[in-house]
Amino acid sequence: MPDMRELLRSLQSLPGPYQPFDPAQAPGQPEPLFAQWLQAAIDAGIREPHAMTLSTVDADGCPDARVLILKNVDDHGWHFAISRASPKGRQITASPQVALTFYWPALGRQVRIRGTAHDMGAAAQATDFLARPLGSRAGALLGRQSDVLAAQQELEDGLARQLQRLDAAPDLVPPTWAVYAVRPRVIEFWQGNEQRRHVRLSYRREEGSAWAMERLWP
């Protein structure tokens, strides 16, 4: 086994070159800038540019994180869909303060979001669930996420049963399914630089819906 420290030090970090980011040209609200950065990631051919890390805390106050897919961005916030019965769903029910992190390494860019997750209700829940691929719906109906799996056949048999349920009731939506929107308090746009002169622009929500924009030290 190679020496881990030497292996990690041999890997490049922020090699660039990157497009410059001028905060003076940024819009007064974060949503248009996020849309611009997401489109730049799509245009650059980055795989799964809508993937993000959702961070929560468990009952002991310990942080937990996993990668999910962004579903929408609108006036309600940044949307994602999960089962309320999953560990992350239970954690959000107990403490809805969450963080989202996007990272597009080819562009040297991160977006960090901190805010409160709100349940978007039954209509959003049904729309999202019925638009998902059949296998995804079957897996959600199992309701066993993060349980211990004793044998692969147990999973295969369970999925087969749920596929039969969906065949008999194609509009079935589990009551535990949920779409959440994260209403941000703070959003940071981070543009890396090869000389480590990183550009950091923070949007901080003030009273009402106004945003205060601040440059941060790298």
Rounded distance between C-alpha atoms, residue 16 and residue 196, angstroms: 11
Residue 76 located in a structural domain: yes
Split into its structural domains, the chain has a count of 1
pTM over 0.85: yes
Task: Judge whether 78 lies within some domain.
Answer: yes
pLDDT at 143: 83
In a domain, 157, yes or no: no
Q: H helices within the chain, ranges in order?
A: 4-9, 30-43, 87-94, 122-130, 134-142, 152-168
Residue 22 placed within a domain: no
- Say if 183 falls within a structural domain: yes
**The tokens 């729309």 sit on which residue?**
127
Amino acid at 14: L
In this structure, what token pair is assigned to residue 188? 């940071």
Find the domain containing 102 and state its range. 28-132+175-216
pLDDT value for 146: 82
Q: Calculate Rg over the CA atoms of the chain.
A: 20
Q: Are 193 and 110 in contact (CB under 8 A)?
A: no
Confidence at residue 202, expressed as pLDDT on a 0 to 100 scale: 98
CATH number at residue 207: 2.30.110.10
Written as six digits, the tokens of 214 are 């601040």
Pick the catalytic residue from 5, 47, 196, 197: 196
In-domain check, residue 125:
yes
Of 203, 141, 210, the C-alpha closest to 170 is: 141
Residue in the block written with tokens 């890390």: 53
Query: What is d(CA 65, CA 98) in angstroms, rounded to the nearest whole number?
Result: 10
What pLDDT does 145 receive? 82
- Per residue of the chain (218 residues), give pLDDT as tens: 789 999 999 999 999 999 999 999 999 999 999 999 999 999 999 999 999 999 999 999 999 999 999 999 999 999 999 999 999 999 999 999 999 999 999 999 999 999 999 999 999 999 999 999 999 999 999 888 888 888 999 999 889 999 999 999 999 999 999 999 999 999 999 999 999 999 999 999 988 779 999 999 99
Whether 163 maps to a domain, the answer reads no
Residue 20 placed within a domain: no
Instruction: Tell me, yes or no, if 196 is annotated catalytic.
Output: yes
